[in-house]
């Protein structure tokens, strides 16, 4: 049964978001079990095996998007499986806005993530920052 909207997500998910947003690779590694594995059905070559490989992948992303931020939009838990919906944002090294996110399903073992199945995408956004444009228009 899904958790009520007012409930907090499991601590592993909260710690994951905090590690992503602070770009703390050690804190990120602590979120995962040693045998962690991820699969991406729409991008099979994105799959990872092990915490070290996961850290290298996120280190590369943090280097490419220095102000990367993750927003947890929704989540639901059923036993030790947690469904999450994320919005990711930032700017690449050349200043281009980057948006992404999607659904990530996590399997927990205690207070750590044992596996993940991801349906996520990242894309560069060409053109103006429409959130900023809209905010300016609405502030008039």
Per-position DSSP letters for 63-108, written without gaps between them:
HHSTT-EEEEEEEEEETTEEEEEEEEEEE-TTS-EEEEEEEEEEEE
Residues of the chain above pLDDT 70, percent = 86
- Kindly indicate the confidence band of residue 95, based on its pLDDT and cuts at 50, 70 and 90: confident
pLDDT (tens digit, 9 = 90+) per residue, 37-50? 999 999 888 888 99
- Mean pLDDT, the chain, as a whole number? 88
Which domains are assigned to the chain? 11-138 (3.10.450.50)
Q: How confident is the model at residue 140, as a pLDDT? A: 65
- Pairwise CA distance, residues 12 & 111, whole Å: 5
Helix (H, G, I), strand (E, B) or coil at 8: coil
């Amino acid at each position: 049964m899904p958790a009520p909207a007012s409930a907090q997500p499991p601590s592993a998910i909260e710690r994951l978001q905090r590690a992503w947003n602070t770009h703390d690779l050690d804190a990120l590694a602590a979120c995962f079990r040693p045998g962690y594995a991820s699969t991406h059905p729409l991008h099979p070559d994105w799959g990872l095996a092990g915490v070290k490989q996961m850290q290298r992948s996120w280190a590369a992303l943090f280097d490419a998007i220095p102000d990367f931020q993750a927003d947890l939009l929704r989540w639901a838990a059923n036993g030790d499986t947690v469904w999450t919906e994320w919005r990711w944002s930032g700017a690449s090294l050349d200043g281009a806005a980057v948006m992404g996110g999607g659904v990530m399903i996590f399997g927990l073992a205690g207070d750590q993530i044992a596996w993940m199945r991801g349906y996520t995408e990242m894309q560069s956004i060409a053109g103006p920052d429409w959130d900023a444009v809209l905010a300016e228009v609405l502030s008039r």
